[in-house]
C-alpha cells in the first residue's frame, strides 16, 4: 500500500531529483525568478519554502540545515542575508507560480516561479496589510463613536 506517499518523483531517481531541486532553488534565490515546467515549479515550491522559513531566524543550526539541502555557500549566504530580510514579516507563501503556456518543442506546460516580494509590478498597487487582529467584542468600533460626541461638545 502507498498510503501517505503522495510525492511527484518527476521521472528521476532520488539523487538526481534532489540535485535538480537544489540547483533550481539556488537559481531561484540568485535570480529571484526562473522559468520551468509547472510540475517542477510545484515541486520546487515545496522544496524552497521551508528553507525560506528557516532563514528568518539566523542561527548556525538553521544555516547548516539549509546548506545540507542547497549545497552552495553563496546561495545560503544570500538567502539568509537578503531574502530573509525582505520576507521577514510574511507568514508564508514566499513564492508565486505564473503559468506561461506550452513549450514549442514538446508542448509541456511552462510556468514562471518567482519570489513574491521581489516583483514590483504585482506589489505596486497593493497596500501593506496591517498585522493586527480584530476583537470580537467590538472595542475598535466603540472608541470612534465615543470620541465623536466629545468633539461636538467642545465646539458648543
Q: Name the residue ranges covered by the structural domains of the chain.
A: 14-126
CA 45 to chain centre: 8
Q: Over the range 39-78, which residues count as b (16 or more CB within 10 Å of their CB) and which as e? A: ebbbbbbebbeebbbbbbeeeeebbeebbebbebeebbeb
pLDDT confidence of 137, banded at 50, 70, 90?
A: confident
Architecture per CATH, domain 14-126, reads as Alpha-Beta Complex (3.90)
What is the overall mean pLDDT for the chain? 88
pLDDT in tens, 43-97: 999 999 999 999 999 999 999 999 999 999 999 999 999 999 999 899 999 999 9
Return d(Cα 141, Cα 10) in angstroms, integer: 53
Amino acid at each position: 500500500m502507498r498510503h501517505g506517499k503522495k510525492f511527484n518523483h518527476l521521472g528521476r531517481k532520488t539523487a538526481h531529483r534532489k540535485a535538480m531541486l537544489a540547483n533550481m532553488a539556488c537559481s531561484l534565490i540568485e535570480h529571484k525568478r526562473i522559468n520551468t515546467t509547472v510540475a517542477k515549479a510545484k515541486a520546487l515550491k515545496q522544496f524552497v519554502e521551508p528553507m525560506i522559513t528557516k532563514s528568518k531566524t539566523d542561527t548556525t543550526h538553521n544555516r547548516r540545515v539549509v546548506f545540507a539541502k542547497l549545497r552552495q555557500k553563496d546561495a545560503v549566504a544570500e538567502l539568509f542575508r537578503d531574502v530573509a530580510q525582505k520576507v521577514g514579516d510574511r507568514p508564508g507563501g514566499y513564492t508565486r507560480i505564473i503559468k506561461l503556456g506550452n513549450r514549442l518543442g514538446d508542448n509541456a506546460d511552462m510556468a514562471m516561479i518567482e519570489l513574491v516580494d521581489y516583483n514590483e509590478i504585482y506589489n505596486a498597487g497593493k497596500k501593506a496589510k496591517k498585522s493586527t487582529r480584530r476583537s470580537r467584542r467590538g472595542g475598535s468600533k466603540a472608541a470612534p463613536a465615543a470620541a465623536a460626541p466629545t468633539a461636538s461638545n467642545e465646539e458648543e
